[in-house]
Amino acid sequence: MSKVGILGIGSYLPDRILTNFDMEKMLDTSDEWIRTRTGIRERRFANDNEVTSDLAAKAALKALEDANLKPEDIDLIIVGTNSPDKLFYPATACIVQDKIGARNAAAFDLQAGCTGWIYATTVAVQFVQSGMYKNVLSIGAEVITRMMDKEDRYTYVLFGDGAGAAVVGKTDNGGFLGFELFADGSLSKYLEIPGGGTALPFSKEVLDKKLHYTTMNGKEVFKFSVREISRVSNIILEKTGFKVDDVDWFIPHQANLRIIEAGVGRLGIPMDKVVITIDKFGNSSAASIPVSLNEIYQKGKIEKGDKILMVSFGAGMTSGAMLLEWSK
């Protein structure tokens, strides 16, 4: 099969920062309570005039610049998101296509919870390997804070907004070495927005009961997430013939520092190889992994040939992992 890798990467984070001390003024919570349970110190909130497609478009343009490509060079745009501009249609990816001027690109959204960018990138690679498309934009973008109840101290403090994008295309060396995707719909009730869809359409009751906001069983989500970090990582390493010691960088979904530490402990990866951004950005859902990848790339920490293991888990419940040999 053709070698397919990341030709360019970029991210965008809103400039509005809310610290834990800001949260103290809004909720019955404290900086100490949030830090010790989540590892979060601050998070980014989209400005009132920003929507998901705005963040996605800005990240996409940065990725195109990094790849030395023009918007017209893109054949397909996939946006992994749980907080689209419009509830049902049009797809946020179509709006992004227009905003960046990618007039030659097909476009669609992909919804897989916080694992959205892993799923989207896996799909992007298949399109390139098949020869159908040359350059595919895989974007993880969220204004997820608007999907939270501002009075819920257990969910509102966790999330932040942001976007990360990668141009996926053929490369002469390195590239993606393997993928692993998983879903268990029997657990979907543990993290969901009950109202607003076809199962429970918008109504006065939905609004009064706040069923259009995120509900979460923290205990069950924690158990699933810790298990999946090590499980899907071990599967992909076995499939590709690599060992834990071969991994140079480990990028887990930034949901909760305690989840990361517990999962990494089971996996046996030292923390100095683990990328942590949750303290600054909170849980940005489908955006968290590409944002974290771009963070260490921009800081010059990734070297050509480095093996990067990326793992995510989220609503659905879904999980997924990718092993990448850096080729830039």
- Percent of the chain past pLDDT 90, that is, above it, reads 99
In this prediction, residue 2 has a pLDDT band, given cuts at 50, 70 and 90, of confident
Question: What is the per-residue pLDDT across 136-181, written as a single tens digit (0 to 9) for each?
Answer: 999 999 999 999 999 999 999 999 999 999 999 999 999 999 999 9
Summarize the confidence of residues 230-244 as an average pLDDT.
96
pLDDT at 1: 59
Q: What percent of the chain has pLDDT over 70?
A: 100
pLDDT for the residue 45: 98
**pLDDT tier at 17, thresholds 50, 70, 90:** very high
pLDDT band per the 50, 70, 90 thresholds, residue 56: very high
* pLDDT, tens digit, 9 for 90 and up, residues 259-313: 999 999 999 999 999 999 999 999 999 999 999 999 999 999 999 999 999 999 9
All domains of the chain, ordered by start, with CATH? 4-173 (3.40.47.10), 177-325 (3.40.47.10)
Per residue in 62-108, pLDDT (tens digit) is 999 999 999 999 999 999 999 999 999 999 999 999 999 999 999 99
Mean pLDDT of the chain: 97
Q: Could you give the CA distance from residue 134 to residue 315 in angstroms, rounded to a whole number? A: 31
The C-alpha atoms of residue 326 and residue 328 are separated, in whole angstroms, by 6
- Catalytic residue numbers, as ranges: 114, 253, 283
Give 328's pLDDT tier (boundaries 50, 70, 90).
confident
